[in-house]
A and B are shown apart, each in its own frame.
Chain A
Amino acid sequence: MSWTALLALAAGAYVLKAVGPVLVGNRQLPADVTQALELLSVPLVAALVAVRTLDGGGKLVLDARVPALAVAAVLVWRKAPFPVVLIAAAATAALLRL
């Protein structure tokens, strides 16, 4: 990979990240736009949960991540500390894969 291509990728990735914080920035947005933006992260984070659980390289798979997520869900519901949720999920998946 050439340095030019690498820098082009970095520039493109940065411009995408900066659209909101730099271009929209401090402008006061209408209340309903703010409301929509605040709700916007909900489907995105929910999608991250689903995709990180079910994506097996471009196809849907049910593997050890599913029971691991179920364990995590119970712990989140019981208000377990965050690191406990992460470690329990990893331990569940690792044990099932032995």
Chain B
Amino acid sequence: MNAPERRDITRRALAIGAATGIYGISFGVLSVAAGLSPAQTCAMSLLVFTGASQFATVGVIAAGGSAAAALAPALLLAARNGVYGLSLVPVLRGRLASRALQAQLVIDESTAMARAQDPAAAHHAFLATGLSVFLFWNLGTLAGAIAGSGLGDPRRLGLDAMFPAAFLALLAPQLRRPGAPVAAIAGALLATALVPFTQVGVPILFSAFGVIPGLIVLRRAQVVA
């Protein structure tokens, strides 16, 4: 990885982080509105640090549910980070303490960025994205928790449309590998089909099974080669 490549990755990481920061603000606002203290709101972004689970938790509590009732869907949502962590095993090497610290950064954005790079650049991409999202998400949360409901709906600015666009840009370079297009289509279809029937996050978790048709195609390509 040369210096311009490294800078380009860092720039992308900052762009993703900044977009996430806006959602951090809305999380802070919603969490305080649901009755959590600003300290708890910030602690959640620092310690739980996985957006979907945090939104689900404050959503259940705002709707009058108990914290215990919020725990199961929140952890179900976080389960996909377990799959991400497994997919990052080849990227995250090193001493136990360093791996244990970096595990906190295993989320949608850092995984997608790491896997979109060549193996030599994957770790830099993971770390830059993870740290950038961590920084902006927590700053956003703090701002939202303090400022309350001053900010409007981020959807009005089209910010929700940034995320699928970002993931598509990160997916594209991965599609050149044999089996990858099949795995991508299978994963997207599986997740889409599950959206109406499951909690948020579950469709992403189950989309992992899309790897099976992908591997079949990959094996076949290798046999032919």
Contacts and interface: CB of A to CB of B under 8 A. Distances in A.
Interface of A: 1-3, 5-10, 12-14, 16-22, 24-26, 29, 34-55, 58-60, 64-65, 68-69, 72-73, 76-77, 82-83, 85-86, 88-95, 97
Interface of B: 11-12, 15, 19, 35-36, 40, 43-44, 47-50, 53, 57, 61, 67-68, 70-71, 74-75, 78-90, 92-94, 96, 99-100, 102-104, 106-108, 111-112, 115, 155-172, 174-175, 177, 179-180, 183-192, 195-196, 199-200, 203-204, 207-211, 214-215, 218
A48 B200 CA distance: 11
Given A1-B57, A97-B155, A42 B214 contact: yes
Contact of A36 (B12, B85, B203, B211): B211
Contacts of A94: 156-158
B116 to A, nearest CB: 8
Contacts of A58: 195-196, 199-200
B83 A40 contact: yes
22 contacts: A1-B40, A7-B47, A10-B44, A16-B78, A18-B100, A20-B87, A20-B88, A20-B89, A21-B88, A21-B100, A36-B211, A39-B214, A41-B115, A43-B187, A44-B187, A46-B184, A47-B192, A50-B188, A55-B200, A58-B200, A90-B162, A93-B161
B49 A13 contact: yes
Given A6-B43, A46-B183, A19 B85 contact: yes
Question: Closest 8 A-B residue pairs measured CB to CB?
Answer: A43-B187, A43-B210, A20-B85, A93-B158, A47-B207, A89-B165, A94-B158, A5-B67
Contacts of A24: 86, 89
A68 B193 CA distance: 21
Contacts of A39: 177, 179-180, 183, 211, 214-215, 218
Contact of B162 (A14, A40, A86): A86
Contacts of A59: 195-196
Nearest to B68: A5
Given A13-B49, A54-B192, A89-B162, A22 B96 contact: yes
A44 B169 contact: no
Contacts of A19: 82, 85-86
Given A42-B187, A45-B171, 13 more contacts: A6-B43, A17-B82, A17-B84, A17-B104, A18-B103, A26-B93, A39-B215, A40-B83, A45-B170, A46-B184, A50-B164, A55-B203, A86-B166
A58 B67 CA distance: 21
Contacts of A12: 71, 74-75, 78
Contacts of B204: 44, 47-48, 51
Which of A9, A60, A77 has the most chain B CB within a 10 Å cutoff? A9
